Structure 1
Amino acid sequence: MLEELGVNPAHHFAFARLMKLIQEHNPDFELLGPGSPFISQNELELLGALSSFSRKKSQVHGKPTPAELPEVMATLLGACGMALRIGGVIMKSRPIPALTSLPDMEVTTRPLRHHARLRPVKVVEVLEVSPLLRRIVVTGVSLFDYPDGRPGHWVKLFLEGSNEGVPVGRAYSVREWDAESRRMAFDIALHCGGPMSQWAANARVGDRLSVSGPRGGLVENNAGSWLLLAGDESALAAIQAIMARTTPEKELHVFVEVSKESEILEFPARPNAVIRWLLRDAENPETASTMYEAIRCSPLPNQSGGAWVGGESGVVKKIRQHLLRERGFNAEDVQAAGFWKKGEVDFKDLAVG
């Protein structure tokens, strides 16, 4: 929520780390915030007063607020007060003295709405996985509490610059995440047009981005069943991440559609995985998906299994319908999401998660 009010995210990661250390040292220490049943009128008025004081000082003297109230902290406090008002937080007066626990309440409260925060990161490595695929590795202190998402989860990357005040961002699956070193890798497919693709083609170590997420990822309702994985270049990183997180005993049937033979990658050998690389018709790219036809005509296990499918929205929809209507898959075992759609920019599919 603070990001929407114009507060630089780099200013409050240090505060977040401090709060985390306090809670680790003293788990019973209570902080008012989204996890609290309510925030009192006293705190809200205090935040508003500090914000007002900060603005008046800046307007009168035309310079940053005095040392007793640093400008960054004043901005943060003021934004907190405004965010609480915008969020419609239920307020109830209570005594200021410290309490060992919050008092029981008989009124209904409404918590703050969840807003994914932006995490500033820096590019530390750029690799050419294939002629049309770039691996971008980023790191940053903002990833200190990044959760271990489900295999195949995705985040949204934002370029440091902006287009007439509107951040440029696109969603990408996380290829690898190392919590110990705080390194995150993405595989970005290069294509004609698109600001993120153009940036990735010329990305350099030291480039700065912002990350929001994680979202989505594979959910297996029956971990013991076999698994179908299918997708085009946009889903390749997610497919590899899912394969890396599944046990060697898991039976996998993998379909990957690419535009050129040079884009075929070498996957680690797995005894129970059948991998099919499919080439699109370069002369007729608008024809029916090669991936859909390959799945429709391929022999698959008869017993109930799971499926994860990602790619162009129209193709993904056809594959999902085929799996449910003709293959007998249970609806809850099929995860199918359109990562992009022909003719649309920054397409959003609610099924992605």
Structure 2
Amino acid sequence: MLEELGVNPEHNFTFARLMKSILEYNPDFELLGPGSPFVSQNELELLGALSSFSRKKSRMQGEVASAQLPGAMATLFGACGMALRIGGVIMKSRPIPASTSLPDMEVRARSLHHHPRLRPAKVVDVIEVSPRLRRIVVTGVSLFDFPEGRPGHWVKLFLEASNNGVPVGRAYSILEWDAESRRMTFDMALHCGGPMSQWAANARIGDRLSICGPRGGLVENNTRSWLLLAGDESALAAIQAIMAQSTPEKELHVFIEVSRESEIIEIPARPNSVIQWLLRDSENPETSSTMYEAIRCSPLPNQSGGAWVAGESGVVKKIRQHLLRERGFNAEDVQAAGFWKKGEVDFKDLAVG
């Protein structure tokens, strides 16, 4: 509705944040319907009268006007008003008499949480973790209600610039999510070609992008005493996130494949974890199966465990088959997904979630 009225989509989450705060401050407030003091669905008149909604509602109920709203509320009102002025929306209040009914009007409440559309964000920090890995931190008002999700979950990032009118977007796992400061961190592997890789290599503070998600992440159907984590550079952020959120008692066996020794990074120490860094065959990168061979030859625990594997689609399939056929893993305890596939752009694997 906001977009149809010409409001910049970047300001939609300011409105959502405002409504969330209103409902927390006054749970009885009604946005639409016969009991609401405003008609707002078509003309969006609600925001034009927000600064006085509490006073008007109190008068309709025969109550004494409440004290001035908290400063944070006033700030939100001002932010929404600015968004509407930028969008060119003309606002005015139109109270409805208590006896008035609205015939033939069906109102369906829709949650403001977990908005499926794009969330605008901007880059606030860029760190060179290794020659081929960039740690990029973003934040934005639109992330105010971003769900915690599962460890290792991912989002799709879209560049502000477009390619022939088509938005450029790729999926990236979330390394860290700080809900209090609304800061989201990604580790982006750089490779030859690709618009997102080029952007990450040259990212600067202040760059803008949009976020859609989250999805996926580690699903543990059964609580197992140990967990196998395996992946290449594309899965490095997810592996670190899963390790950080695993209980100290759980035994972790981690295999990480990189192209060269300079790509080995420091991962915070964790009890009951064994990390093996694997160097990909640089002479035959297209046919290398370093990670598969390392797992196949590794003396993993005999008791039933869980597994999370991600990376190149063909390698991931071989590892999954090995775990099921030769290691005796239960199918429901093996989560394996191709994050990318040789020869394909923006590869999509349904197993990713």
TM-score interval, normalised by the smaller of the two chains: 0.7 to 0.9
Are the structure 2 counterparts of residues 168 and 279 from structure 1 closer, same or farther at C-alpha, using a change threshold of 3 Å?
same
Contact 1:259 1:282 in 2 (8 A): yes
8 Å contact kept, 2:136–2:187: yes
User: Is 323-332 or 6-15 further displaced after alignment?
Assistant: 6-15
Matched, 1:47 2:74: no
- Structure 1's 28 and 350: CA in aligned 2 closer, same or farther, altered over 3 A? farther
2:249 partner SS:
coil
Cα deviation for residue 344 of structure 1 reads 0.6
Matched, 1:8 2:23: no
- For 1:73 and 1:31, how far apart are their aligned partners in 2? 22
CA distance in 2, matches of 1:159, 1:71: 23
Are residues 5 and 203 of structure 1, via their aligned partners in 2, closer, same or farther at CA, if it must alter by over 3 Å?
Answer: farther
1:231 aligns with 2:225: no
1:202 aligns with 2:208: no
TM-score (structure 1 length as normaliser) = 0.77
CA pair 152-49 structure 1, distance change in 2 beyond 3 A: closer
Letter in 2 for 1:47: N
Query: Which residue in 2 is equivalent to 1:183?
Result: 183
Q: Which AA in structure 1 matches 2:164?
A: E
Q: Which residue of structure 1 aligns with residue 158 of structure 2?
A: 158
Residues 236-251 of structure 1: matches in 2 within 5 Å? 236-251=236-251
Cα distance, 1:71–1:189 mapped onto 2, change above 3 Å:
closer
**Within the alignment, does 1:96 sit opposite 2:111 as a pair?**
no
Q: Is residue 2:87 matched to residue 1:72?
A: yes
Contact 2:159 2:210 in 1 (8 A): yes
Aligned residues: 299
In structure 2, relative to structure 1, the CA distance for the partners of 1:252 and 1:190 (3 Å cut) is same
1:3/1:117 contact within 8 Å kept: no
Secondary structure class of the residue paired with 2:142: helix
Partner of 1:168: 168
| 2:331 matches 1:331 | yes
CA apart distance, 1:270? 2.5
Residue 2 (structure 1) shift = 7.4
- Computed over aligned residues only, the root mean square deviation of the Cα atoms, in angstroms, reads 3.2
* Distance in 1 (alpha carbons) for counterparts of 2:318 and 2:274: 22
The AA in structure 1 aligned to 2:230 is A
- Seen in structure 2, the aligned counterparts of structure 1 residues 350 and 4 have a Cα distance that, compared at 3 Å, is farther
Separation in 2, partners of 1:49, 1:16:
13
Deviations along 1:28-75, one digit per CA (max 9) or x if unpaired, are 44556xxx9xxxxxx99x73999xxxxxxxxxxxxxxxxxx9683759
* Gaps in structure 1 of 5+ consecutive residues: 37-42, 51-68, 76-93, 104-108
Distance 1:215 1:4 in 2: 28
Q: Distance in 2 between matches of 1:49 and 1:273?
A: 55
Give the drift of 1:121. 0.9
Give the alignment of 1:273-352 within 5 angstroms. Answer: 273-352=273-352
The alpha-carbon distance between structure 1 residues 95 and 319, as it changes in their structure 2 partners (threshold 3 A), is farther
Q: Decide whether the 8 Å contact of 1:3 with 1:118 is kept in 2.
A: no
Whether the 8 Å CA contact 2:224–2:306 is kept in 1: the answer is no
* Overall identity of the aligned pairs, in %: 80
Alignment gaps of 5+ in structure 2:
34-38, 46-83, 91-99
Quote the Cα distance in structure 2 between the aligned partners of 1:176 and 1:49: 37
Q: Against the structure 1 CA distance between its residues 2 and 283, is the aligned structure 2 distance closer, same or farther, given a 3 Å change threshold? A: farther
